[in-house]
Structure 1
Amino acid sequence: MRVSKALGFSLLVLFIGSTSLFAADAKKPLSAASAQPSLLSEFRIGFSAQDPWGPEGEDGSANLTGEILLAKPFTASDLFTSYFIPRPHFGGSLNFDGRTSFAYTGLTWTIDVTPDVFVEGSVGGAFHNGKDKVNDPFSDRQALGCSPLFRESGSVGVRLSANWSVMATIEHLSNAGTCSDNRGLTNVGARVGYSF
């Protein structure tokens, strides 16, 4: 129950913050919106529930998340081909209750469903400070086997303006059987993104 209240409050804060920033962004003159290409593509910040179906999330543990996406390394001449060109990313997840936190990097593919709605998938790797093995069956920590781990995530998002978006995200960390313990860690949450 604590995690649902925390996520509900987090989503409300993200929504209010993003709508007020959207209003400020809408007042910018058109000339300010056309900037030179940059190495940075997007910055995202949000909150997630820590492994709500596992031992690390049984009492509603939550995370602060942040991510930076770089620009695509090259562009394609048509929209369809551009969907196959990923953006490099790096980010992190900081647990509020002293459980598993991690830093990650990888590649992200974004596909527009409509001009305002998009879906996204990413793959990469993560280094964590969690437990490789857990001997106590009643522990509130998850045995992750080793570090680094593979990381996959999926998102569904809505663009509020040319610069601002909100998205729901699920991510999974696992060693894919390369170590003895392999339950993995799954987090779900919401983020606000700002595109440069």
Structure 2
Amino acid sequence: MLMKSECLHVLLSAGLAATLCSTTITPANAQEPIFDEARFGVLASVDNGHHEDGVFATGMIFFDPWGHDAAQGIDKLLRPRIHLGGSLSTAGETSQVYAGFSWTADLTDRLFLEVGVGGAVHDGDLDYDGGSGPALGCRLLFHEYAAAGFRLTDNWRLTAQIEHSSHAELCNGPNDGLSRAGVMLGYKF
């Protein structure tokens, strides 16, 4: 709990002074939002070999438990943000959920670059079964993304993002992977 006191000093007649104080108690975490940022957008397949139809409604939320945004220099590398996200196919292709770590580097006050790595779980085809989509070999995949962003205001940002999911030849079966790119609109709390 945090306590905040405000006092008012009053000068009474005959040179006497009185002090009136009020105290407000607020929870210690009242100013700390649960989420650091939320992003929503659309991505499309950019894979030439096994192109996926439709677009992918995509969302990500970010947490900053180690103070990545406040860190400077090498500390920024040691304090990544945590991301949790997913993409939903609008055309019956592969949907996925993913989580991992993200690092942001400011180029200017408004421009930034970002990279993230982690893992994903998907509902796509594992083997070639006559479908047109990619064969992914196993349910668990690595998930990486890179983004370039622009801060529209202190809270709103626009990012161009490219992402890739595959198993990096660590399980048996095909490894066509998922490659997608698009734009996302984010709100920083």
1:178 is displaced (CA, Å) by 1.1
Paired position in structure 1 for 2:183? 190
Q: Secondary structure at the match of 2:179?
A: strand
1:52 is displaced (CA, Å) by 4.1
CA contact (8 A) 1:160 1:166 kept: yes
Paired position in structure 1 for 2:162? 170
RMSD: 1.8
Q: Which residue identity lines up with residue 195 of structure 1 in the other structure?
A: K
Paired position in structure 2 for 1:83? 76
Q: Which has the higher helix share?
A: 1
Paired position in structure 1 for 2:7? none
Paired position in structure 2 for 1:54? 49
Q: Secondary structure at the match of 2:176?
A: coil
TM-score by length of 1: 0.75
Q: Which residue identity lines up with residue 63 of structure 2 in the other structure?
A: L
CA contact (8 A) 1:143 1:182 kept: yes
* Pairing of 1:1-196 with structure 2 (within 5 A): 36-57=31-52, 60-74=53-67, 79-84=72-77, 85-136=79-130, 139-179=131-171, 180-196=173-189
1:76 is displaced (CA, Å) by 8.7
Question: Aligned partners of 2:31 and 2:119: how far apart in 1?
Answer: 31
Q: Which residue identity lines up with residue 106 of structure 1 in the other structure?
A: G
- Identical positions, percent: 38
Question: Aligned partners of 2:87 and 2:69: how far apart in 1?
Answer: 32
Question: Aligned partners of 1:71 and 1:178: how far apart in 2?
Answer: 31
Q: Which moved more, 1:174-183 or 1:48-57?
A: 48-57
Question: Aligned partners of 1:175 and 1:104: how far apart in 2?
Answer: 13
Q: Which residue identity lines up with residue 114 of structure 2 in the other structure?
A: E
Unaligned runs of 5+ in 1: 1-34
Q: Which residue identity lines up with residue 35 of structure 2 in the other structure?
A: L
Unaligned runs of 5+ in 2: 1-29
Q: Which residue identity lines up with residue 39 of structure 1 in the other structure?
A: I
Q: Which residue identity lines up with residue 174 of structure 1 in the other structure?
A: S
CA contact (8 A) 1:102 1:127 kept: yes
Q: Which moved more, 1:173-182 or 1:163-172?
A: 173-182
CA contact (8 A) 1:38 1:71 kept: no
CA contact (8 A) 2:40 2:58 kept: yes
Paired position in structure 1 for 2:8? none
Question: Aligned partners of 1:166 and 1:76: how far apart in 2?
Answer: 17
Q: Say if 1:76 and 1:52 are closer, same or farther in 2 by CA, change over 3 A.
A: closer
Q: Which residue identity lines up with residue 153 of structure 2 in the other structure?
A: S
Higher relative contact order (CA 8 A, sep 6+): 1
TM-score by length of 2: 0.78
Q: Say if 1:36 and 1:45 are closer, same or farther in 2 by CA, change over 3 A.
A: same
Q: Which residue identity lines up with residue 51 of structure 2 in the other structure?
A: E
1:64-87 CA-to-partner distances (Å, cap 9, x unmatched) read 000000123246975213421110
